[in-house]
Structure 1
Amino acid sequence: MSVERLPDRLAGHQRGFEKRFAEYFDSLEATLDVPAFSRFTPECLELLRALSMRGGKRMRVVLLYEAARLVTEAPVEGLDAAALSVELLQTHGLVHDDLIDDSATRRGGPTTYYAYRERFPEHPRAALGLTVLAGDLALALSLRVLLDAGLPAAVRQAMVEVQTRAAADTFVGQIVDLERDFTDTPPGDAVLHAVADHKTARYSVLAPMRLGLLAAGEQPGAHEAELSDYARLIGICGQMRDDYLDLFGDAEAMGKPTGTDIREGRHTYTVVRLLSAVNGAERAFVKEALGHRACTQETIAEIRAIGERAGVPDRMRAEMRQYAEQARQVAARWRPRWREDAVAFFELLPRWSVERSR
């Protein structure tokens, strides 16, 4: 398998899942027990649907299906339910992330929080509460879809355990992510990596791979160390790329403004690298802007220019390639055990994820 074929493989998984995801939301009207008088519940489900169906590479779905292909090329029952579960858990995370970050847009559309703020401009507490409940509903649905799957009870139970643990790890990751910013000095890489592992890797990489292997009849616990290493390295790459794009990315292509982490005073990979690379007046300028929500786009542009002059983008791209190569080496060790074509996919994925333009 070549890296040139990777986008087509990803697109194939994405197209198939988009149809299944739309059908799932269509089915909720008949399967979710909602009082007939309720207007807010259908509105909530429509907001969840709009956010869920709005773009994204569906990388968790890809990892899920490709993990099953490590074991067999034959169709595997339960993968569709598992795919719905991982994306509903992702929807939960997006709703709450946007609330925590006070983000107005997501993937070119309004966030759930801002949609509710517009819906209830005179009732801010109701808008806040409904946003939290929307995220909670997505989490509950992500577990229910597994419980309703037509799979042996032991497999269903194992899958629910994977998702429950992934959700708990992610919540801890969100907590320590916020805690990380309540320090006088920028954190070291050990802290940044731990946040990336808990907040991103465990639910975005490790859980989908565990689910895919379980569906295919493999026990992921027998390979826990290698799977965790691969997921952690991919998580670091992914979080570093997200942090990089927040300052050095294209706002139009991302569908959201740049400079959010600067305005929020967040000690991300990019901010930490930037503060360590500059000194004097430039460092003072960055520190003065850090945490100022009213920071203008002109100020963000100047901070971006400071980072570019200091070589921060080049340094971060080199680091991402380094972690991607480490992940590739982990995947390469799977060759004696699992199918060649699928192993090749997991070898190619880390570097492609770092180098892709979007």
Structure 2
Amino acid sequence: MSAGRIRKEIDHALLTFVDRQRPGMLAIGDDLRPLLSALDALLAGGKRLRPAFCYWGWRAAGGEDIAAARGIAVAAASLELLQASALVHDDVMDASDTRRGRPSAHRRFEAVHREQGWRGASASFGEGAAILLGDLCLAWSAEMFDASGLDPEPLRRGREVFDLMRTEVICGQYLDMLESARGAGSVETALNVVEFKSAKYTIERPLHMGAELAGATPETVAALRAYGLPLGIAFQLRDDVLGVFGDPAETGKPAGDDLREGKRTVLVALALERATPAQAETVERGLGDTALTADGVAELRSIIEETGALDACEAMIDRYTARARDALAAAAVAPDAREALGDLAVAATARSV
């Protein structure tokens, strides 16, 4: 199955599930319509990386039954609801104004409250509504997975990984908040956040889940995880670079937004480790400043480049990507899956989005 065809199957499964949920929601009350509209807007975008890795994990482990492939598309698509939950909650915690070039969910609900002239603080209403939307997506992700139509035994195996992945990403998110609050992170601690907040969740566990759904041997699972974890780290390091140096037209977020949000990324940790006292003071002063101007962003960018942190981060991306490619080359997987996973490695670490 081609990448385009897989994308269409994933999109169809996702939209079909949400459409089935819609009447039940609206039967509760028409006031829930804005909640569904916010979800529709969020699900309309995205690269569908997690479902793609899940599908190719299934194929890599020998999955090929056409009837089962329909169930795999549904099970893989459930990861997009999990991703929607993580994004909505992440934007609340980071006080992000935009997501994929549109207002973030909490800003969307905040605007509705303000326009209607309702009581209370618009910001508090927006955050509360967004948290509930994220919770709904989290609940629906499990419901969609369980209703995929796959046989009970592969479903049980896959569900174990799915549950683990949800736990890991929540723990990773907490560690990310903790690093920002402490304000003294190292490259090592930043990499630990990367592993659990992003690398496992984005690539390693979706591959692992797909492989388990196909009944993979422990050797195949280990081989796919050896490919998935370093690629997941490279993916997040690339995302960190784009969060500072990316083009807003491509990233969907204002330039330097990660700096304004005070994210203690590997890129920032590398800069602080290599900075002079004066440079470090400038970075610490600007990091987390929500009012940081374009000039302030440019100044921090210059320090990141001058310290060699950007080049060091690019070298790390290359090393982790090479490690993933070596693991994939050594893995005993289906030829079409090997080719597709190689293409996904390029897509996940591209210098633009």
TM-score scaled to structure 2, two decimals? 0.89
Contact 2:50–2:203 at 8 Å: present in 1 too? Answer: yes
Pairs within 5 Å for 1:109-258: 109-121=102-114, 122-124=119-121, 125-183=124-182, 185-189=184-188, 191-219=189-217, 221-258=218-255
CA 1:106/1:26 → structure 2, altered by over 3 Å: closer, same or farther? same
2:266 pairs with 264, 269, 272, which one?
269
CA distance in 2 between counterparts of 1:249 and 1:35 reads 40
| 1:93-104 equivalent positions in 2, closer than 5 A | 93-104=86-97
Instruction: Report whether the alignment pairs 1:40 with 2:31.
Output: yes
- The answer on 1:52 being equivalent to 2:43 is yes
Alpha-carbon shift at residue 223 of structure 1 (Å): 4.1
Residue type of the alignment partner of 1:115? R
Please report how far the alpha carbon of residue 107 of structure 1 lies from its aligned counterpart in structure 2 after TM superposition: 0.6
2:303 alignment partner in structure 1? 306
**Rounded Cα–Cα distance in structure 2 between residues aligned with 1:91 and 1:213:** 23
Q: Counterpart of 1:301 in structure 2: which amino acid?
A: A
Answering whether residue 349 of structure 2 is matched by residue 350 of structure 1, we say no
- The match for 1:68 is 58
Q: Could you give the per-residue CA deviations for residues 115-159 of structure 1, whole angstroms, max 9, x where no partner exists?
A: 111111344433322211110110111110122222222233333
Distance 1:268 1:116 in 2: 29
Deviates more, 1:274-283 or 1:194-203: 274-283
1:153/1:9 CA distance change after superposition, 3 Å: closer
Superposition RMSD in Å: 2.3
Q: Distance in 2 between matches of 1:293 and 1:353?
A: 29
Letter in 1 for 2:199: A
Unmatched segments (≥5 aa) in structure 2: none
**Would the aligned equivalents of 1:205 and 1:234 in 2 still touch at CA under 8 Å?**
yes
The verdict on how the C-alpha distance between 1:328 and 1:291 changes in structure 2, with shifts beyond 3 A counting, is same
The residue identity in structure 2 corresponding to 1:291 is G
- Flag the 1:267–1:152 CA change in 2: closer, same or farther, 3 A: same
CA change 1:174–1:345 in 2 (3 A) is same
- Counterpart contact for 1:82–1:211, Cα < 8 Å: no
Give secondary structure in 2 for the equivalent of 1:252.
helix
Q: Does 1:21 align with 2:14?
A: yes
Q: CA deviation at 1:269?
A: 1.1
Report the identity percentage.
30
Q: CA deviation at 1:166?
A: 0.8
Alpha-carbon contact 2:100-2:253 (below 8 Å) kept? yes
Residue 349 of structure 2 aligns to a residue whose secondary structure is helix
Helix, strand or coil for the counterpart of 1:182? helix
Deviation string, structure 1 residues 92-112 (Cα, Å, up to 9, x no partner): 111101111111111111111
Q: What's the CA shift for 1:352?
A: 4.6
* Alpha-carbon spacing, 1:14–1:348, altered in 2? closer, same or farther (3 Å): closer
Give the letter aligned to residue 269 of structure 1: V
Q: Shift of residue 341 of structure 1?
A: 2.8
Unaligned runs of 5+ in 1: 1-7
Q: TM-score, normalised by structure 1?
A: 0.88
Looking at structure 2, the residues matched to 288 and 277 of structure 1 have their Cα atoms a distance apart, in angstroms, of 17
